[in-house]
Amino acid sequence: MSDTGVRTGTAGPGRAGACSIASMTGDIRGIHHTAILTRDLDGLERAYASFGFTLSPRSRHLLAGRPGEAPVPGCTANRCALFGDAYIELLGIVDETAPDPWHTRPVADEYEGFRVLNLDTGDAGAAHRRLRDAGLRTSGVLDLERDVVTDEGPRTVRARAVHLDPRATPEGHVGVAQHLTRRYVHQPRHLRHPNGARGLAAVLIVAEDTAYDAMTDRYARLLGTAPRREGPVTVLGTGAARLRVVRASDAGEVLPGEPAPAASYLAAMTVVVEDADHARRVVERGGTATRPTADGFFVSARDAYGAGLFFSAG
């Protein structure tokens, strides 16, 4: 989530247009994970457990600040709602005195909530090279580790990530990530959820009106796909990744009454469930109000620590 080690591509705007990020298409397979950032991880955990999500045990992060550096214990820990492919990360700052190699504390200082979107890749190195060749600034390839408990005993989760320069993504901290030990993350015992959750179908992004065209073009090139309109929303997708972008002036049509924490922001995610009526009963029994939608229901970002949640049967 930081711009530590960010490198400047040698290409100018003209070359970036010619060397389209559509060449990355083979590297982008879906949504890797979304992350909700807070300094109140205990409260965030309670909220998402009350929504009917099974959460993995809390795990502390070991993070590298620059490419090639060894990971060190950082200030963050997480719990995750895992679906076998994508997951929702509940990301908490748990030690204000610990190192912060990914500059997470300044992100939380701006505002807490839905702050991170990572797309899934099978080759972080290739993704970085292609982004760089397209003229985009990135962090380079960074290493992440965290220890987890498995049926085989303690194991270390390892991953690689490439962060886009956050100055170019005002909506949030965006990147691509590669599992190196997927089986230690998506353990079968964590994949069954009382609310019947099965996966992440989409992410909704609100774009400041003046940034809308540039943002839509950036994601179209990143995903290598042509945008299409669905009412006020522009939809972009490849593989299992579906991103939906709406102008801030039209956001009230899809997010009526919802808070706007910034001019552009990651606003909501769509959780696919086996039975929307059942999931709604689970959420409401947990004490949270819901709003019906055409194919399910919605939980306000006010109740979900800054991330609107659409629940949809599928």
The yes-or-no verdict on residue 23 having pLDDT over 60 is no
Hey, which bits of the chain come out as E strands? 30-38, 59-63, 72-82, 87-93, 113-120, 138-150, 153-164, 173-179, 197-207, 228-230, 233-238, 241-247, 265-273, 291-293, 296-299, 308-313
Q: What is the CATH code of the structural domain delimited by 13-190?
A: 3.10.180.10
Q: What is the percentage of the chain residues whose pLDDT exceeds 90?
A: 70
Q: What is the pTM of this model?
A: 0.88
pLDDT tens for each residue of 257-297: 999 999 999 999 999 999 999 999 999 999 999 999 999 99
Closest CA to 202 of 268, 247, 260, 294: 268
pLDDT category at 16 given cuts 50, 70, 90 is very low
Question: To the nearest whole number, what is the mean pLDDT of the chain?
Answer: 88
Which span out of 57-71, 125-139, 247-261 was modeled with the highest average pLDDT?
247-261
The yes-or-no verdict on residue 152 having pLDDT over 50 is yes
Range 63-74 average pLDDT: 84
| CATH architecture for segment(s) 197-313 | Roll (3.10)
Contact indicator for 79, 56 with CB cutoff of 8 Å: yes
Taking the CA atoms of 29, 47, 294 and 252 in sequence, report the sign of the dihedral they define: negative
The yes-or-no verdict on residue 24 having pLDDT over 50 is no
Distance between CA atoms of residues 200 and 247, nearest Å: 22
Q: Is there a shared CATH topology between the 13-190 domain and the 197-313 domain?
A: yes
The yes-or-no verdict on residue 194 having pLDDT over 90 is yes
Query: Could you state, in order of their start, the residue ranges of all structural domains in the chain?
Result: 13-190, 197-313
Range 214-235 average pLDDT: 89
Range 140-149 average pLDDT: 89
Q: Which of 2-16, 53-67, 106-120, 289-303 has the lowest mean pLDDT?
A: 2-16
The yes-or-no verdict on residue 308 having pLDDT over 50 is yes
Distance between CA atoms of residues 296 and 283, nearest Å: 12
Range 57-65 average pLDDT: 86
pLDDT tens for each residue of 231-263: 999 999 877 879 999 999 999 999 999 999 999
Contact indicator for 307, 301 with CB cutoff of 8 Å: yes
The yes-or-no verdict on residue 1 having pLDDT over 70 is no
The pLDDT of residue 26 is 62
The pLDDT of residue 10 is 29
- Which uninterrupted H or E stretch holds 183? helix 182-185
